[in-house]
Amino acid sequence: MYQIDFEKPQRIHFIGIGGISMSGLAAILLSRDFFVSGSDWHKSGLTEQLEKEGARIFEGQAAEHITADLDAVVYTAAVHEDNPEYRRAKECGIPLVSRAQLLGQMMKNYKTAVAVAGTHGKTTTTSMLSEILLKAKMDPTISVGGILPAIGGNIRIGYSDTMVTEACEYTNSFLEFFPTVAVILNIREDHLDFFKDLSDIRRSFRKFAARTPQSGVVIIDTSIEDWEEIVEGLACRVVTVGPASASDYRAEAVAYDEEDDPSFVVATSKGEREPVSMRVPGAHNMENALAAIAAARELGVDWETIRAGLWHFEGTDRRFQKKGSFHGVTVVDDYAHHPDEIYATLTAASQMHYQKVWCLFQPHTYSRTKALFEEFAETLTLADEVVLADIYAARETDDLGVSAEKLAKRICELGTPAHYLPSFEEIERFLYKQCMHGELLITMGAGNIVNVGESLVEP
C-alpha cells in the first residue's frame, strides 16, 4: 500500500471530496501545504470552504480530472472500479488510497489517537469528547461525522500530538486505523449489505480492538452482549463503562429535567463519585457521555473540565436538532436510521411535554430496511403517529421487495397510525394540515428528509 509522507507536500486528488469525512481529510492535507484537488457530483458548503483554503474542486467526475502529476488518488467506499476517475488513475499507475487507509496513516502521526467506534452514537460521543478536550486546551485535531458548532464544521486542525476521530465499521474501514485509545459504544446488526450477520460484525469489532497497542486502552460498554469476547486476551488495558455494577464508569442517582436532559453521578472503580449535568436529552446520551468521560480521564483531563465540556455540548447537526416551528408545532431533525437509534430518540421525545409526537421517517437503504424490517416497525410505534417517505436508496439499486408502504402497513398492524406518502410535497401538505399546536414533529433518517421539516418551518 502506498504510504503518504506527511512531511513532504504532495499532489493528492479526492474522488468524492464533498463527503463529511473526505472533506475533513482534504482540509488536514491543505494545512500541511499539500496540493489538493477533488471532485463530487455537486458542490456544497464543504467544497466551497475547501476552495477558499486552496483546493481545486471539480463538479462531476471525469477521467480528465486525473493528471499524470498526481502522487496519489483517494477514494471512498462508494466509488467502484467503473468510476472514470478511479479507472484513469489505475490506467496511469497512480497509487490509489482508500479514505480509511489515509485516515489510518494520519493517525500514526499522533502520539495519542482516539478512535470512537460503534453501530451508533459515534458522532455524538466524538463530539462530546472533543468539547472536553477543547475545554482542557489540549489543541486536538478532530474529525467528526457531523457539524459540531464548537469547531464551526466537521474538522479541526490542531497542533498537538492528540487526534480524535470516528471509526466506522462499514466495509471494515476501521481495520485500517491505529488507535491508542479505542472506544466501542455498541455492536448491533447494521450494514448487512456488507456483513453476513451479527457474528461477522462482532468479529470485525474484535479485530478493531486488537489493533490497540499494549500501551493503549480499549474502552467498551458493558451493555454489549458478551462484551468480554470482544476484548478477551488483549495485551492492552480494558476500561468498562455502562450499566453493569462492576463497570469502571457507571451512572448513579440519575435524574431528568422537564426537557429530558440528564443529571447523574459518575461512580468509578477508583471510588470517585462526580456529579455531571448535560444539555442534550435521553438516556442514550448519558451512555455516550460515560464513554467520553472515560476517554477524557485516560487522557488526564480533570473532573471540573469534563463537567464544563459536557455542559457546553448542545448537540451536533442533525442529532435531535431543533429546526424551528410552524403554527405552534415544534420541528426537530434527527439522523437516526437504525432501530436502536430510533428507539433512543423516540423514547427521549416521549418523555418531553408535548401533546403528541409525530415521526416522519425516511428509511435508509433497501438492505437495512429488509434485514431489520420488524425492528423498524416495532420501534417506530413509540411515536404517536408515523409518516413514511420512500426509502433513500443511497448506493443501492435493487429494492429487494421491500418498501416504505409495506413498512407503514406493518406499523398500522401493530396499532400505531402510519401513513405512506410518495412525495415530499404530499408529505408537507399532509403534515401542515394534521399537526397541531403543542405537538412535536421529528424528521428522521440519514437521507434528505430534513428538507421537509425545513420547508415547513416558518421564517
Query: CA-CA distance, 176 to 155, in Å (whole number)?
Result: 20
Helices (H), 17-152: 20-31, 45-52, 84-91, 99-107, 122-135
98 by Cβ neighbours in 10 Å (0-12 / 13-18 / 19+) ranks as middle
Burial 350-368, CB ≥16 within 10 A → b, else e: eebebeebbbbbbbbbbbb
Inter-axis angle of helices 122-135 and 283-298, to 10 degrees?
50
Beta-strand pair 112-117/273-277 = unpaired
From the list 150, 125, 26, the residue with the least C-alpha distance to 341 is 125
- Which helix (DSSP H) or strand (DSSP E) does residue 39 occupy? strand 35-40
Helices (H), 67-117: 84-91, 99-107
Q: What is the dihedral of CA 55, 394, 316, 140, to 10 degrees?
A: -50
Instruction: Please list, in sequence order, all residues whose beta carbon lies within 8 angstroms of the beta carbon of residue 113, skipping any fewer than 6 positions away.
Output: 107, 162, 163, 165, 177, 178, 179, 180, 181
Tell me if 392 sits within 8 A of 445, measured CB to CB.
Answer: yes
Instruction: Please list, in sequence order, all residues whose beta carbon lies within 8 angstroms of the beta carbon of residue 182, skipping any fewer than 6 positions away.
Output: 115, 117, 167, 208, 209, 211, 212, 216, 217, 218, 219
Helix (H, G, I), strand (E, B), or coil: what is residue 255? strand
Catalytic annotation, residues: 122-123, 166
Taking the CB of residue 298, how many other CB atoms lie within 10 A of it?
Answer: 18
From the list 133, 115, 114, the residue with the least C-alpha distance to 313 is 133
Query: CA-CA distance, 250 to 343, in Å (whole number)?
Result: 21
Query: CA-CA distance, 408 to 431, in Å (whole number)?
Result: 16
Q: What is the DSSP string of 25-38?
A: HHHHHHHTT-EEEE
* Amino acid type, 268: T
Residue 267 forms beta bridges with which residues?
Answer: 250, 273
